[in-house]
A and B are shown apart, each in its own frame.
Chain A
Amino acid sequence: MKEIHEMTAVEISEKIKCGELGAEECAAVFLDRAEKYDGVLNCFTYIDRETVLKRAAEVQKGVKSGRYSGRLAGAVVAVKDNICVKDMPASCGSKILKNFTAPYNATVINRLEDEGVIVLGKTNTDEFAMGSTTETSYFGPTLNPWDLSRVPGGSSGGSAACVSAGLAPLALGTDTGGSIRQPCSFCGVSGLKPTYSAVSRFGLIAYASSFDQIGPIAKNIDDCAALYSVICGKDFSDSTSSYVNFDYGRAVTPDVRGKKIGVLTDFSGGKIDAGVKSAVLKSAEIFEELGAEVEEISMPCLEYCVPAYYILACAQASSNLARYDAVKFGFRAENCKSADELYIKSRSEGFGIEAKRRIMLGNFLLSAGYYETYYKKALKAREYIKNEFLRIFENFDLIITPVAPSTAPKLGASLKRPLEMYLADAYTAAVNLASLPACSCPCGFDPNNLPIGFQLIGKPFAEEEIIGAAKAFEEAAHFYKNPPVTNLSGGGSQ
């Protein structure tokens, strides 16, 4: 029999519901593993054994009484630290919020609690989700379970790594320009970035409001679908949220026969590793064997995605992060003699380099005289890119692309070259610009045995279609079943 930490969340929940396993027993397995391995991996920024076990006992009762009977009842979920869970810290990987405890639950957390899903702890993230490596976190980098000398990707690196290492069967991440899909790809797990507005952002600490989306990370696409089905849908606390018609059963029925899939691996100005490209092309062949019609497409506008995305995201971030002014909560510098000094010192000391870079850039972009030149122009580019996708979707059902042009880089390699790091976001940021749904699925390994992922992009609210195709792929190719082979207790990958 599989060990508990090797099971999917849906499997664990089934066993809990039929009495084969106890909720507390299962929670304890993950708590133990986190205790054992997280000292090295650094996936979690907060985990409290007592709280988890207490909640697990309640959930166990609820399962017995029939109160919790859902697909994920009794399972544990790790939550990225930019999502508010009542009475737990919500630090966003930043010094400026390191002492902030959320006084309320995000809507997604309320929905999970209503389903009897147990919050295991908070996971590491790039500061305010700004980064692609989880190295900009105030709490230090998370390590990639496949190779401890490498980054797990980011910004949801803590969530992806903890699922990959079996410290949690499920996690919530957030995706603004690729922050769910890219770490999933680097860590060999599955993730879904929903259509913008499909999941409530209430209680998600904003980075770039018009892109941010919460989504599931799991071992396979089935679990992603199960978690998504719990958190999606209209929320009256988020005016931008939408009604969603999503059926788990329909979604996880393998279905790709007759679908038209566009393959996109190159664009002008983009660099891509040969290993990544061939893995994606191989995946396209597998889809073809499964009965899909596959055709290469080009999308010249991909070149403009990174600049457009960073202009809009940084501008919004500069405003969203302005509330951390040391007046009401969060880090406060000492011995300030005026309000201005309080702002300047606290923010200078409280924010890390990447957050500062984006705040400064955003403020510049919104300054008098520049708004029209940059922000408004970037909004136009966004509209154009959105229309380009919709034009392609007139002839195709899905688009397959690499998630990132490379596999996980070495720790420290990216931060020295931020521009290169930004440019690697082209495939994923394009999807956020167009507000589309996309999943990331493991599809192979590079010569260093590092996981590669592809991205499957669908039409607005076509999550079922994406998941159905991903499921068909999973059943044909079993990349998702490979666990990391590293000695997780430390000692590197040698």
Chain B
Amino acid sequence: MKYETVIGLEIHAQLSAKTKIFCSCKTDFGAPANTQVCPVCLGLPGALPVLNRKVLEYAVKTGLALGCEITQLTSFDRKNYFYPDLPKSYQISQLFLPICRNGSVEIETENGKKRIGISEIHMEEDAGKLIHSEEENLTYIDFNRCGVALLEIVSQPDFTSADEVTAYIEKLCRILKYIDVCDCKMQEGSLRADINLSVRPEGQKELGTRTEMKNLNSLREIRRAINYEANRQAELIESGKKVIRRTLRWDDGKGQSIPMRDKEDAADYKYFPEPDLPPVFVSKEYIDGIRSQIPELPDSRTERYVNELGLSEYDARLLSESVHISDFYEKVINGCGEYKEAANWITGELMRLMKLNSVPDENIPVSPESLVEIINMLKAGEINRTVAKAAFEESFINKAKPREYVEKNNLKLFTDTEKIRLVLTKVISENEKSVSDYKSGKSSAFGYITGQAMKALNSKAPVKEVQKILKQLLG
């Protein structure tokens, strides 16, 4: 029998707010253990939470970018459970009135385009981190991460394959980075996924029994876990057994999903409204203010680059991938008007150098003005491509100003046609043999003459121009 997989995702995105969600502790990654903590995030007796307004702003921004409705009267709830990394033994989260609802994201896979529904987004606090020491048989706790702001983005069960899931996560990351709310570094845990998965015989309406795999933090792991779990469930059903509803942990080393807890002792989180935080009213004006801060998103930019600027779909996507690259591109074309030329420079030289020097997108070391200067010099025939590339690399690495660099190193081409003509006349007179060969119809002789001419000009004249004048002179 053929089986269909049904997947829903819960993505936990760590917000890039500089301070925690309910206190003013820093959120720097990799700080020494338990150095970014205070009575509030440690849940000491008597301490009270105060909402970081930046977190609300980021949540609203994310909701708007994902096409959600914003809940104008939003509030927090307590999710109660015991775990050593959770100092208050409850997590402040949102159950009854989450900040965003009913959004969607369009993804594209080999099978075409598809819209994935987002049922809700809520704000919550992260927990600490347990560090197990096998040799000492001890567990340490680092509370630095405790209280770091998270958005939980809950999708509808709209996925049917690992391809769709990875396309969705990639898309989500692109958007979150665009609006600058999350760095989406999965390897640092700033984006983690819980996967709810069930299978059903193709054509069956009702959903199968689902399992939940928690805390996956790489696309490779996610892909493997989905494929493994879908197979496992299908095989169980095939052999007449039942899928047990339970929470699983993906063991990437073993390539297996491993049960964490059964439904029998499934946690009852005993949610109730958080009495320490009054409900938050989000006004229309506030929402509009945030809406106006959201930059044009990648899909819209890609479309515009193709339709209005005539770029290839491939280049357009590459340029819109990152807001920093895309903004850079737009500044360059505003300066020089050369859509394709600018695109080539950025997807070619700029991206090559960024990758080679491991420069993150947000730190492009060369200014758009420099690239504009280079493109304009090229266009005016003042430099050739070799010089242009060298000038670009100099600006990239040594912050050189392209025009100064070209002038200082005497790399400018002759743009004075009369001067070129003078040199060429001399070259012709010195190469009588080749000239007569050319004139008698031996076309290869022209190449030789051109070479001699370029040599005499120190390669500082555009070849095309040189050949044009040569042809004129040779009649």
Interface string of B25-40 (1 = CB under 8 A from A): 0000000000000010
Within 8 A of A (CB), among B277-325: 277-278
Interface string of A336-348 (1 = CB under 8 A from B): 0001000100000
A204 contacts chain B at the CB level, 8 A cutoff: yes
Residue from the list B78, B141, B268, B278 in contact with A327, Cβ < 8 A: B141
A246 contacts chain B at the CB level, 8 A cutoff: no
Query: What is the bound-complex CA distance between A92 and B46, given in angstroms?
Result: 11
Residues of B within 8 A of A92 (CB): 45
A43 contacts chain B at the CB level, 8 A cutoff: no
In the complex, how many angstroms separate the beta carbon of B262 from the nearest chain A beta carbon?
Answer: 15
Main secondary structure of the interface of B (DSSP, over half): loop
**With A322-B89, A343-B82 as contacts: A202 and B45 at CB distance below 8 Å:** no
Residue from the list B45, B82, B88, B268 in contact with A97, Cβ < 8 A: B45
Instruction: Say which one of A99-107, A293-301, A405-413 lies at the interface with B.
Output: A99-107
**With A97-B45, A371-B272 as contacts: A239 and B84 at CB distance below 8 Å:** no
Residues of A within 8 A of B49 (CB): 239
Minimal Cβ-Cβ distance residue in B for A328: B87
Residues of B within 8 A of A329 (CB): 44
Query: What is the bound-complex CA distance between A114 and B84, given in angstroms?
Result: 38
B271 contacts chain A at the CB level, 8 A cutoff: yes
| CB pair B272 A103 closer than 8 Å | no
A90 contacts chain B at the CB level, 8 A cutoff: yes
Within 8 A of A (CB), among B127-142: 141
**With A236-B50, A371-B271, A371-B272 as contacts: A205 and B84 at CB distance below 8 Å:** no
A363 contacts chain B at the CB level, 8 A cutoff: yes
A419 contacts chain B at the CB level, 8 A cutoff: no
A175 contacts chain B at the CB level, 8 A cutoff: no
Minimal Cβ-Cβ distance residue in A for B23: A237
Interface size class of A (residues with CB under 8 A): 35 or more
B240 contacts chain A at the CB level, 8 A cutoff: no
Minimal Cβ-Cβ distance residue in B for A90: B45
Query: What is the bound-complex CA distance between A26 and B43, given in angstroms?
Result: 38
A232 contacts chain B at the CB level, 8 A cutoff: no
| CB pair A202 B46 closer than 8 Å | yes
Residue from the list A83, A239, A316, A322 in contact with B82, Cβ < 8 A: A322
| CB pair B48 A202 closer than 8 Å | yes
B270 contacts chain A at the CB level, 8 A cutoff: yes
Residue from the list A209, A238, A323 in contact with B43, Cβ < 8 A: A323
| CB pair A103 B46 closer than 8 Å | no
| CB pair A84 B45 closer than 8 Å | yes
| CB pair B84 A327 closer than 8 Å | yes
| CB pair A239 B48 closer than 8 Å | yes
> What total count of A-B pairs have CB within 8 Å?
98
Residues of B within 8 A of A102 (CB): 45-46
In the complex, how many angstroms separate the beta carbon of A105 from the nearest chain B beta carbon?
Answer: 10
A368 contacts chain B at the CB level, 8 A cutoff: yes
Residue from the list A210, A239, A366 in contact with B270, Cβ < 8 A: A366
B416 contacts chain A at the CB level, 8 A cutoff: no
Minimal Cβ-Cβ distance residue in A for B267: A368
| CB pair B270 A325 closer than 8 Å | no
B362 contacts chain A at the CB level, 8 A cutoff: no
| CB pair A323 B270 closer than 8 Å | no
| CB pair B268 A367 closer than 8 Å | yes
| CB pair A106 B88 closer than 8 Å | no
Interface string of A353-382 (1 = CB under 8 A from B): 000000000010011100100010000000
**With A100-B45, A205-B45, A210-B275 as contacts: A323 and B50 at CB distance below 8 Å:** no
In the complex, how many angstroms separate the beta carbon of A358 from the nearest chain B beta carbon?
Answer: 14
Minimal Cβ-Cβ distance residue in B for A379: B273
Residues of B within 8 A of A84 (CB): 45-46
A471 contacts chain B at the CB level, 8 A cutoff: no
In the complex, how many angstroms separate the beta carbon of A166 from the nearest chain B beta carbon?
Answer: 29
**With A323-B88, A325-B82, A327-B84 as contacts: A237 and B50 at CB distance below 8 Å:** yes
Query: What is the bound-complex CA distance between A379 and B325, given in angstroms?
Result: 53
A55 contacts chain B at the CB level, 8 A cutoff: no
Residues of B within 8 A of A323 (CB): 43, 45, 87-90
Residues of B within 8 A of A59 (CB): none
Residue from the list B46, B88, B275 in contact with A322, Cβ < 8 A: B88
Minimal Cβ-Cβ distance residue in B for A316: B275
Most chain A beta carbons < 10 A, residue from B83, B87, B90, B270: B270
Residue from the list A97, A339, A366 in contact with B84, Cβ < 8 A: A339
A319 contacts chain B at the CB level, 8 A cutoff: yes
Within 8 A of B (CB), among A177-227: 201-206, 208-210
Interface string of B90-103 (1 = CB under 8 A from A): 10000000000000
Residues of B within 8 A of A237 (CB): 48, 50
| CB pair A106 B46 closer than 8 Å | yes
Residue from the list B42, B270, B278 in contact with A328, Cβ < 8 A: B42
| CB pair B272 A240 closer than 8 Å | no
In the complex, how many angstroms separate the beta carbon of A202 from the nearest chain B beta carbon?
Answer: 5
Query: What is the bound-complex CA distance between A328 and B39, given in angstroms?
Result: 12
Minimal Cβ-Cβ distance residue in B for A340: B82
A315 contacts chain B at the CB level, 8 A cutoff: yes
B51 contacts chain A at the CB level, 8 A cutoff: yes
**Across the A-B interface, the 4 shortest Cβ-Cβ residue pairs:** A322-B89, A366-B270, A209-B275, A210-B275
Question: Would you give 12 A-B contacts (Cβ < 8 Å), ordered by A?
Answer: A102-B46, A103-B39, A104-B39, A104-B46, A203-B46, A206-B276, A237-B50, A238-B48, A240-B277, A316-B272, A322-B82, A343-B82
